[in-house]
Amino acid sequence: MNRIIIDLDNTLYPEHKGIFSQVNNRINLYLEEKMKFRRDTINSMRVEYMEKYGTTLRGLMIHHHVDPGDYLKFVHDVEIESVLSGNKALDDFLHKLKGEKILFTNGAYNYAMRILNSLCVAHHFNTIFDIVSIDYIAKPDSYGYKKLIALTGNGSSCNYLFIDDRPDNIRTAKELGMLTVLVSANGAGDNCNAELVVREITELEDKLKGTVFI
């Protein structure tokens, strides 16, 4: 059976909707208001944590013993329902994809469900692998990928299609033998060697025709 792993933010919906930008702003607000970090140190600290741990949260958990539940509730308190609405083209595309569809996100489950419900596509996903499911060890670390494969497959990644907007996440999937698709708003491959590059996820329908996935 095919298994199709799909990212959430800036993949299922286009980047220009600005939802993840809202999350980014909430992260900065959390660091400034709740953690009392100086504003001029926040960006450099976040870059450091992203490079070392994949997410700001993981760095905060390791170095500052932050409660992940409190953090995720705060940073995901963003406008979604007023920004996203039912997407028939996306719904039709997901319906045509052959295989088990798995949402794989560094976000939290409730946040993911708000987005899926706003887009009216939640019914397509058999499994949601969120940041809690992968023990807060975020993409692009291979830990979450391997755990997902172990729980949803037979230990082999050869029948997995992986769709994401981040080149570093694509690279890990390729190392595990998955067929990869980069969703890039400017259509650039960003040197991650994804097998396919699309501007929006629905463009994949034409590119996958004639394969086992459509």
Statement to judge: residues 154 and 201 lie in one domain: yes
Statement to judge: residues 91 and 121 lie in one domain: yes
Statement to judge: residues 59 and 113 lie in one domain: no
Mean pLDDT of 141-161: 85
**52-85 tens-digit pLDDT:** 988 999 999 999 999 999 999 999 999 999 999 9
Average pLDDT, the chain: 94
User: Tell me, what's the pLDDT at 152?
Assistant: 85
User: What CATH number did the domain enclosing 107 receive?
Assistant: 3.40.50.1000
Statement to judge: residues 52 and 93 lie in one domain: no
User: Is residue 182 included in any domain, yes or no?
Assistant: yes
Q: How confident is the model at residue 157 (pLDDT cuts 50, 70, 90)?
A: low
Phi-psi region of 156 (alpha: psi -120 to 50; beta: other; left: phi over 0): beta
Statement to judge: residues 8 and 23 lie in one domain: no
Helix, strand or coil, per DSSP, at residue 202: helix
User: What CATH number did the domain enclosing 61 receive?
Assistant: 1.10.150.450
User: Is residue 80 included in any domain, yes or no?
Assistant: no
Mean pLDDT of 79-101: 97
CB contact at 8 A, 19 and 171: no
Mean pLDDT of 164-181: 95
Statement to judge: residues 124 and 50 lie in one domain: no
- Give the residue numbers spanning the domain of 199: 3-13+85-208
The string over 77-92, giving b where at least 16 C-beta atoms fall within 10 Å of a residue's C-beta and e elsewhere, is ebebeeebeebeebbe
User: Is residue 213 included in any domain, yes or no?
Assistant: no
Statement to judge: residues 8 and 44 lie in one domain: no
**200-to-10, 90, 105, 115 alpha-carbon distances in Å:** 9, 10, 18, 16
Q: How confident is the model at residue 187 (pLDDT cuts 50, 70, 90)?
A: confident
Q: How confident is the model at residue 180 (pLDDT cuts 50, 70, 90)?
A: very high
